[in-house]
Amino acid sequence: MNPSEFSELLERYRKGLATPEEISKIDAWYENIARDKDDLPFEEIQKRKERSLAGILSEKPGRAAPEKSALKRIIYRGTAVAAFLALGVLLFIFTDNSKKAGRQLAKKTPPVTTEESLFTNHSSTNRLVVLADGSTVLLSPGSSLTCVEGFGKKHRKTLLAGNGFFEIYHREDLPFSVLCGEIVTKVLGTSFWIRSSSESKAVEVTVKTGKVSVFKNEAGGLRQSKPEQAPLVTLLPNQSISFSAKSREETPRITSIKKGSVPDRETSFNYLFDKTPLDKVFDVISTQYQLDIRLNIPSPGSCTFTGDINDLSLLEKLEIICFSTGTTFEIQETALIISGDNCI
């Protein structure tokens, strides 16, 4: 099965035309992906994806209203589609080394390169960067991110100057590291903010989801291999630390963040939509993430989206919205372009 055939399979499923054999294949693929999604409990992953698909499935034509006893099974199978969309795996399923490869997004993810890559943001809005491993970074104005040579193959090491919000694709074999000022932040798959000040030499790390380990920056930085050392601190969701050059020999104090005051302010935004015009949906995303989003769609107000996409990453939100409405998105420097001739 090639990518085109797989895309047709997803379309048949979405219209309720998939055969029992095809549904079984989707179930098997979904099981494999769900185990690798992240370090959340399986029940929580399942719950989030069911919520995301429930609204979308209920809106699509060609699907008769199921009996109540069968609804759970249908939603469960439907989460397979969300899993592929949300994780961006429409291409790597068909590669020989798919079990070892990271997430690769068709036409959206740059190819893995052995050369050092530099991303800068000279605009007045955030810049969305999709890395070669499928992770994303929201770079604040005046910030830059460098992917060290060999990123995505030998390691996942980066250097940050300024501020960035990271949503990291989970890989047990390759931890993701960010060198910023005096500290190194290391994760397997999670989301977190790093804020730094060139004047005060202070660095702040705030965790939104997952677990983050923070280490002292040893001489040689990320380019030089170092024996494993105990983390300075380990942060859990809604925890934060501030670290400065003056307190380098001290253990930073962990600060708990009250729900609703996370720096990216996502908890104050509701991503439950019910036949909401597409321009209004992207207004919410643009406001929260401070992104320059441009719609290249005839009459975007007449195109609607229904679904619950709370608790999903920014990239997952974009993929599910675009798939369910028949649109596409493309990153052009600091702008996010949404295109489509007709809405579904």
Q: What are the residue ranges spanned by the domains of the chain? A: 3-94, 117-256, 269-339
Would you say 165 and 137 are in contact if contact means Cβ atoms under 8 Å apart?
A: yes
**What per-residue confidence (pLDDT) applies to 191?**
92
pLDDT score at 84: 46
Architecture (CATH level 2) of domain 269-339: 3-Layer(bab) Sandwich (3.55)
Q: Which of 160, 223, 187, 147 is nearest to 38 (CA)?
A: 187
The pLDDT assigned to 343 comes to 73
Structure tokens at 7: 């895309």
* 245: number of Cβ within 10 Å: 11
| Three-class secondary structure assignment of 164-198 | EEEECCCCCCCCEEEEECCEEEEECCCEEEEEECC
Look at residue 242 in the predicted model and tell me its pLDDT: 86
CA pair distance 162, 221, nearest whole angstrom: 17
Q: Say how far apart CA 22 and CA 9 lie, in whole Å.
A: 8
Name the nearest CA neighbour of 327 among 304, 297, 307: 297
* Residue 243: predicted pLDDT: 83
3-state SS class at 213: strand
Q: How confident is the model at residue 165, as a pLDDT?
A: 96
| pTM for the full predicted model | 0.64
Please report the DSSP string for 220-280 in residue order.
TTTTS-------SEEE-TTEEEEE-GGGTTSPPPPEE--TT--TT-GGGS--EEEEEEHHH
Average pLDDT per run of 10 along the chain, which is 344 residues long?
57 74 66 48 51 49 36 34 42 30 33 61 93 92 92 92 94 92 88 86 89 79 56 89 69 65 56 92 93 89 88 89 90 90 72
Give the model's pLDDT for residue 27: 63
| Fold exhibited by the domain 117-256 | Jelly Rolls (2.60.120)
DSSP state letters, 62-88: T-PPPPHHHHHHHHHHHHHHHHHHHHT
Q: Which of 135, 150, 143, 148 is nearest to 184 (CA)?
A: 148
Q: Which two tokens stand for residue 256?
A: 């708990």
| 117-256 and 269-339 share one fold | no
Q: What is the pLDDT of residue 80?
A: 39
CA distances from 280 to 60, 163, 277 (A): 20, 27, 5
pLDDT of 235 reads 92
The enclosing H or E element of 160 equals: strand 156-161
SS3 289: helix
Residues with Cβ within 8 Å of 88's Cβ and at least 6 positions away in sequence, in order, are: 103, 104, 105, 106, 108, 109, 134, 315, 319
Could you tell me if 254 and 241 are in contact, meaning their C-beta atoms sit under 8 angstroms apart?
yes
Q: In this structure, are residues 144 and 138 in contact, taking their beta carbons and an 8 Å threshold?
A: no
Extract the tokens encoding 216: 């002292």
